[in-house]
Amino acid sequence: MNGIKNLVANFERSEYTITIEKVGEGSVTKELISGTQTDNGYLFESSVKLTATPKKNWNFLRWEGDVESDSQSFGKVINDHITIRAVFIEFEDGDGSEDNPYQVANLHQLQRVGSYLDRHFIQVSDIDASKTQGWNPEVEFTPIGIWIDEHVNDAFSGTYNGQGFEIKDLSIRNRDDIIGRASGLFGYVNESGLIKNLTIQNLSLDIYYSDDFSSMHVGTFIGLNHGKISSVLIKGIRGFNFNFLGGVVGTNYGEIVKVHSEVIFGGEDMGGIPDLNYGNIYNSSFIGNIRGFGGMESRFWTKTKFICCLCGVKL
C-alpha cells in the first residue's frame, strides 16, 4: 500500500445550452462550426453559428439578451449557458416608440399599421397601393382604427408622419357590417392621434350601407377624427356615388391644420374637407366639384371654427 501509485485525472468539457426566444414571426437555425454538439447542448468552447430568417412580409430587427447584434447571422464561442432573443418586425425598421418609430415602406406594412394602433410610424417611401383593386373581394383595404359605436371601437392613438411621401391608387371598398361605421384610410383616430406630412392621390372609395347611411363617418382620409391632422394633401379623388362624404374627414371633432383637398364628388351632401365638423380647421383649402350642400363642409354646426380657409367649389 505504501508503494508508488499512478493516478489518472480525467477532465471533461462542461456542457452548455443555447436558449432561443423569438419576438414576431421568423425562425432561428443553429449550425455547429467546430467542437461538439450533445443531446442537450454544446461542449465548452464549441463554435456555433446562429441565423435568423424572417417569415414572408416580416423583417429581422436585432438579437437581444446575452448577445446583442443587428447582424442576421453571427458566430458564438460557447463558454456558458446563454439565452438570446431574435426580434422580427413587420416593418422596415424601428421599434414603434416615439424615438424609434416603425418605418413603413410598402402596402403590406401600411395595412399592418392597424395592428399597432398605439405605436409611432414614419413613411420612408412612396407607396403604390394599386394592388388593393383585387386584394379582397369584400374589403380591399381595412381602415386603420375601427368604430362600431361609442361602446365598441378601437382607435388609432399613435402618430403617423408621412415625411412628404405619398400613397397613391388606394382602393377602399367597405361594408359597414364587416368593418364598422367609420371609413377612410384611417377609420377612427382618437384625441392622442396625430397624422401629418402626407399626400393621398387617386383614392377610390366605395361604401356599402346596411341601414342609415347618415350615421356613417366617411372621409377619404379619416372617417371619424378626434385627433390632429397637419400638412396633408388629398388630390385626384373622384367617382363617388353615395351621400354624406368628407373630402378629407367624415366627422371631425379634432383639429385640421394646413390641409388641402382636390376632389370631384358624384353624390349628394358632400363636404370639401369634412362632412360634419364639430372641431377646428385652420389654414386649409378645398377645390373641386360637388353636389348637394357642399362647400368647406356639407352640414354646418354652431360649434365650429374655420380660420384662414379657402373654398373654390362648383356646386
Pick the CATH number of 102-314 from 2.160.20, 1.10.357, 3.40.710, 2.60.40: 2.160.20
Is the pLDDT at 139 greater than 70? The verdict is: no
> What is the spatial distance between Cα 223 and Cα 218, in angstroms, rounded to a whole number?
4
Would you state the pLDDT for residue 231?
Answer: 95
Tell me the average pLDDT across 80-108: 95
> What is the spatial distance between Cα 61 and Cα 23, in angstroms, rounded to a whole number?
10
Is the pLDDT at 205 greater than 70? The verdict is: yes
Pairing outcome for strands 18-23 and 120-123: unpaired
- pLDDT band for position 290 (50/70/90)? low
Question: Which carries the bigger pLDDT value, residue 61 or residue 268?
Answer: 61
Report the range out of 117-126, 141-150, 301-310 with the highest average pLDDT: 117-126
- pLDDT band for position 313 (50/70/90)? very low
Those residues with Cβ within 8 angstroms of residue 54's Cβ, 6 or more apart along the chain or in another chain: 24, 25, 26, 60, 88
Is the pLDDT at 267 greater than 80? The verdict is: no
- C-alpha dihedral, 283 to 284 to 287 to 289, nearest 10°: -130
- pLDDT band for position 215 (50/70/90)? low
Question: Which carries the bigger pLDDT value, residue 8 or residue 211?
Answer: 8
User: Is residue 198 a contact partner of residue 160, using CB atoms and an 8 Å limit?
Assistant: yes
Would you state the pLDDT for residue 301?
Answer: 42
